[in-house]
Chain A
Amino acid sequence: MKRLGGVSAELAAVDGRKRLNMDKVMTVVCFVLLLIIVVIPIVMIIFNAFFNEGKLETQMFVEQVTDGKNLEAMWNTLKIALFATIFGTIMGVFYAWLLGRSDIPAKGLMRALFNIPYMFPPFLGAMAWDMMFNGRSGYINKMLRDLFGLTQMPININSVWGIVFVEVSYYFPFVFMQVVSALERMDPTLEESARIAGAKQRQVIWKITLPLVKPAISAGALLILTTSLAHFGVPSILGYAKGIYTLPTRIYAVIYNSGGSFDGIRQGAALSVMLVVVVALALVLQNKILSAGNYDIIKGKSMRPTLIKLRGAKIPLFLLAILTLVLIVIVPLVMIVLVSFLKAYGLPIEFKNFTFAQYEKVFTANGTIAAIRNSLFVSITAGIVCMFLGTLVAYVVQKIRPKGKGALEVISMLPYAIPGTVLSIGVILAWSGRIVGINLYNTIWIILVAYMARYLSFSMKTSSAALLQVHSSLEEAARVCGASHTESLKDITLPLIRPAMVSGFFLIFLPAMREVTTSILLYGPYTRTLGVQIYSLRDAGMIPQAAALATVAIGIIIILNTIVTKITKDRKGV
């Protein structure tokens, strides 16, 4: 495969000096853009955490790091992430095995349904669970209390365990999807030969199947770990009011309480360094584990694996799977919709209390309409810009392969590892007038810049994978057919990676539409996003109206997702 890459460089050498210039321009553009979008904000955080007015000053940092409240937040963050990872992994592996290796009915449908929690914005889920099981006023809590004549609320979701529960429900698909596809790719004779060797079904699962999918399990588990460490939405909705802080919510609180003052932001920066250290440790762990278990199980002729007969357990397990889906998808959805029709939060859910007034407000209030418009604008713009920029970086890394391509790759992947909250602080520090007088604070542009930094790696990854698929001989064939270097790029390479670019766009556009973590620190009076608007409506106690807007948001997300699936399905594969 040594012909796979580096062809452009080879061709460039043949073409002489002229071509080299074009490649050089692309390379330089890449470095400059990444410097502006990624490097400067990150440098600003570190600089401001340790320097004040140009002088080294560690006192503030030490104060922050040793502060009891912050240490508690850190402890909570670790606890939540750890338990969410453990339970999410167990749940993901269990359902993946059930769908991949047992004779449970309706597999195709179940597999599609199990992906839904992945699309469902976790902070909306948290909202719904809060409505049901809030330790003071949860609807179902009240119902249960009255039913059994209890003196206290039976369940309190506003706790560390509540947060863990909600995170598990929406993060287990990370493990589920990885393991299901690993099971599908696995050569069934690996398991069959263990049977021949005398192992019983149960022994095969423990000694062969699970160890073989271990790389997939740990990849998914670490994804849960890093996501949970950096997650803002769920802990803020369930824990904030009760004084349960995690590092991301603590950073938000520090900045919010200081009223956006520079000192507050600096304290936030110090806490960010703490959070980044924790996440970085998790990523190092991920790299270690993944490279240790790096074996290839994708081989052998594709055969259908022998399915394990569940016999008596078949129907109960099927019902359990259905119940899980109902619990984590349908129930919260129904709750949000029901509340959105209420005249006021706290009224019993009865028909006489229903009204359309909340929806009327949603569609007439300037704030909400603007929020939808803002979200559409930043999501689409960030999607398009990242689509091209990511492809450019991917092309430079994969085909031009300049010196320092490793650095390029690392820089573009860096924001992926940095929590959204932290990135926001970096962007604030960089673009609120401190560098060459550019002040984007309180404008929509600062959100856009943050989104671009955050999502660039998504499009770069998909374009990179697509470029690797474009075999060099396709470009060479065009050259031999009489096309110049530029022409072969335009006629062959670009059209071939277009589908990947489009899916890269949607990979950015969809999460950006429901984003809250980054924008919560960046929004100004006129630049609320959809997520921020729901969050602040709820924060202001207008819960039914927040629910109505959430219903609209979920509607938009479902529609967009359907469109995307349709588009990607119709597209002819390369």
Chain B
Amino acid sequence: MGDQIVLDHVTKRFTTKTLGDIVAVDDFNLRVHEGECFSFLGPSGCGKSTTLRMIAGFEDLTEGEIELCGRLVSSRKKNLYVPPEERGLGMVFQAFAVWPHMNVFENVAFPLRIQKVNKTDIERRVNEALHHTSLTGLEKAWPSDLSGGQQQRIALARAIVTNPKVMLLDEPLSNLDPKLRETMRFEIKALQRKFNFTIIFVTHDQSEAMAISDRMMVCDMGRIMQIDTPENLYNKPCNRFVHNFLGESTFINVVIQDGKAYPKGHMDQALNLSVPDDAAEEMVVATRPNEIALSGPDQDGYQTHVEKRIFLTDRTEYLVPVGDQLLKVQTPHRVTFAQGEACSVHLVEPMWYPADDAAAEKERARRQLV
């Protein structure tokens, strides 16, 4: 399998009146394989949408090169720029972008009409695309009479009708309600299997990205943080940001003494964790609330009690003091501890990160103003 999309040192800078220079995309290097579903994930302002728009050809690059299907489409050095209509892409937008002045059939037929495909072929290919997006029977309907989910299906049908090799999806599910979002996720995957295109999926919703992608890129403040499979990213986040961004996290600040980890400021009871060899004196231990074993008192683990119990719809959340910090623990409803009850907590395979980085937080706050 070859690389279908290659980003080589891609950088985008722009200047704002109030905040000076902003590096929206800082030296992105990326190879997306043929047939892969690849997600760009990050908070707003992380550079994911700008990168997608550069791939589509709606934005120019400040530096670097982009290659699509082995063909150079954007290059600063060679002063090359292929306009969006000649890149042979499919794209679906967040706000559907279904043309309200055309009926469903005409919307889907539009790309073919532009290509001057003959009439019978148009009919056949549009009907096929409508069939695969479960829109058969709605050919004559007007978009304004259809639901959000159906409109997004029109956008999908319009994107697949030209049989593109690369499909760009820009937050395509964000405007749909949660139930529909899940169904559409499955449908997109099914279409991919059927037509075998490469997907770039942009989203800020981590669970959506994890559910759909083969690999994903987490970025923050215009920089790539980590590229890996969803499971690896979730299980081995490279830094605290990625840990916090993917799934729920709970952190304990610890001090290392004699190879043991103590909650910061409370040296009376150590956490029974094996401390990595290269640990600094102060560290942050990170884990997931549902990866903490909660058991009766005097069991394996840190001895404490339940400070507060909160019922959520699908699980129970306990706040458990560790030193003067509160650890968040989540269990299924069937595991019940009363408020104030003594218990043991055991962190299963936590991650270790250096103590907090104030400078990075400041930069994030600045960028959020843009």
Contact = CB atoms under 8 A, between A and B. Distances in A.
Interface in A201-221: 203, 207-208, 211-212, 214
Given A192-B93, A299-B95, A300-B95, A197 B101 contact: no
A189 B115 contact: no
Given A196-B84, A199-B85, A189 B114 contact: no
B94 interface: yes
B93 A189 contact: yes
A208 to B, nearest CB: 6
A211 B103 CA distance: 13
B100 interface: yes
Contacts of A193: 91, 93, 97, 155, 158
Interface in B72-131: 83-86, 89-91, 93-95, 97, 99-101, 110-111, 114-115
Contacts of A197: 85, 110-111, 114, 158, 162
A306 B162 contact: no
B146 to A, nearest CB: 12
Contact of A214 (B56, B86, B101): B101
B85 A190 contact: no
Nearest to B158: A197
Interface residues of B, number: 28
A194 interface: yes
A301 interface: yes
A200 B97 CA distance: 17
Given A196-B85, A197-B162, A199-B85, A296 B114 contact: no
B241 interface: no
Contacts of B99: 190, 194, 208, 211-212
A203 B85 CA distance: 11
B114 A198 contact: yes
A195 interface: yes
B58 interface: yes
A187 B95 contact: yes
A295 interface: yes
Interface residues of A, number: 26
Contacts of A296: 100, 144
Nearest to A297: B100
A200 B114 CA distance: 9
Contacts of A297: 100
Given A195-B85, A199-B85, A295 B56 contact: no
B172 to A, nearest CB: 11
A212 B101 contact: yes
Contacts of A301: 94-95
Interface in B195-215: none
Interface in A424-480: none
B355 to A, nearest CB: 38
Contacts of B83: 195
A200 B85 CA distance: 7
Most B-side CB within 10 Å, residue of A194, A196, A211? A196
A295 B100 contact: yes
B56 A196 contact: yes
B97 A192 contact: yes
Contacts, number: 75
Interface string B160-192: 001000001000000000000000000000000
A111 B158 CA distance: 36
B100 A196 contact: no
A296 B143 CA distance: 10
Contact of B114 (A190, A199, A211): A199
A197 B107 CA distance: 10
A490 to B, nearest CB: 41
Contacts of A293: 101
Contacts of B101: 211-212, 214, 293, 295
A293 B57 CA distance: 32
A198 B85 contact: yes
A208 B113 CA distance: 13
A195 B58 CA distance: 9
Contacts of A299: 95
A211 B106 CA distance: 14
Contacts of B91: 192-193, 196
B115 A198 contact: yes
A189 B162 contact: no
A293 B97 CA distance: 18
Nearest to A204: B85
Contact of A198 (B56, B95, B97, B162): B162
Contacts of B142: 295
A199 B83 CA distance: 10
B110 A194 contact: yes
A190 B98 CA distance: 7
A199 B58 CA distance: 14
A193 B144 CA distance: 18
A148 B97 CA distance: 58
A45 to B, nearest CB: 41
A189 B144 contact: no
Contact of B84 (A192, A211, A212): A192
A301 B144 CA distance: 18
A201 to B, nearest CB: 8
B169 to A, nearest CB: 12
Nearest to B143: A295
Contacts of A196: 56, 84-85, 89-91, 159, 168
Nearest to A212: B101
B58 A198 contact: no
Nearest to B87: A196
Contacts of B115: 198
Interface in B273-308: none
Interface string A224-267: 00000000000000000000000000000000000000000000
A211 B95 CA distance: 19
A194 B83 CA distance: 12
Contacts of B85: 195-200
B360 to A, nearest CB: 27
Contacts of A203: 114
B125 to A, nearest CB: 13
A124 to B, nearest CB: 40
Nearest to B90: A196
Most A-side CB within 10 Å, residue of B97, B110, B111, B162? B97
Contacts of A212: 99-101
B201 to A, nearest CB: 16
Interface string A25-58: 0000000000000000000000000000000000
A458 B84 CA distance: 46
B256 to A, nearest CB: 47
Contact of A187 (B56, B58, B97): B97
Contacts of B155: 193
A254 B163 CA distance: 71
B325 to A, nearest CB: 39
A189 B100 contact: no
A197 B114 CA distance: 8
A190 B58 CA distance: 13
Interface in A276-305: 293, 295-297, 299-301
A295 B146 CA distance: 12
Interface of A: 187, 189-190, 192-200, 203, 207-208, 211-212, 214, 293, 295-297, 299-301, 306
28 contacts: A187-B95, A192-B56, A192-B58, A192-B84, A193-B93, A194-B99, A194-B110, A195-B58, A195-B83, A196-B56, A196-B85, A196-B91, A196-B168, A197-B110, A197-B158, A197-B162, A198-B85, A198-B111, A198-B114, A198-B162, A199-B110, A199-B114, A208-B99, A212-B100, A295-B101, A295-B144, A300-B95, A301-B95
Given A195-B57, A196-B85, A196-B90, 9 more contacts: A189-B97, A190-B99, A192-B97, A193-B158, A195-B83, A198-B85, A296-B100, A299-B95, A300-B94
Interface of B: 56-58, 83-86, 89-91, 93-95, 97, 99-101, 110-111, 114-115, 142, 144, 155, 158-159, 162, 168
The 6 closest A-B pairs by CB, nearest first: A300-B95, A197-B111, A295-B100, A189-B97, A189-B93, A193-B97
